[in-house]
Amino acid sequence: SAQKIDIIVCTSGESLHNLITLFGATNKPLLQRVPLIVVSERLAAEARALKFNEVFLAENASHNAIIHALMIRKKLCQTAEQK
């Protein structure tokens, strides 16, 4: 069965653009629907400009902050599924 990408963590503009290049123009709309966690306001603005639908901002670029953002995102998903 096909694997589903639940969320992407992006820590730089370069990695965001590389991801888009890897997915290609044909798959870009699929990529834009995957929730994205970023580590700065600048990167969040860039992701929104690139038409990502769900952009979550981690408090900073530390591992703990990224894990915390992932946990919050997971709780949001679980809450939405229970409704």
Residue 2 has pLDDT above 80, yes or no: no
Q: What's the residue count for the chain?
A: 83
pLDDT at 1: 59
Long-range contacts of 16-19 (CB under 8 A, 24+ apart): 16/43, 16/46, 16/47, 16/50
What average pLDDT does the structure give for the chain? 91
Does an H or E element contain 18, and which?
helix 13-32
pLDDT digits (tens, 9 = 90+) for 4-43: 888 999 999 999 999 999 999 999 999 999 999 999 999 9
pLDDT at 76: 74
**Alpha-helical runs (H) found in the chain:** 13-32, 41-49, 63-82
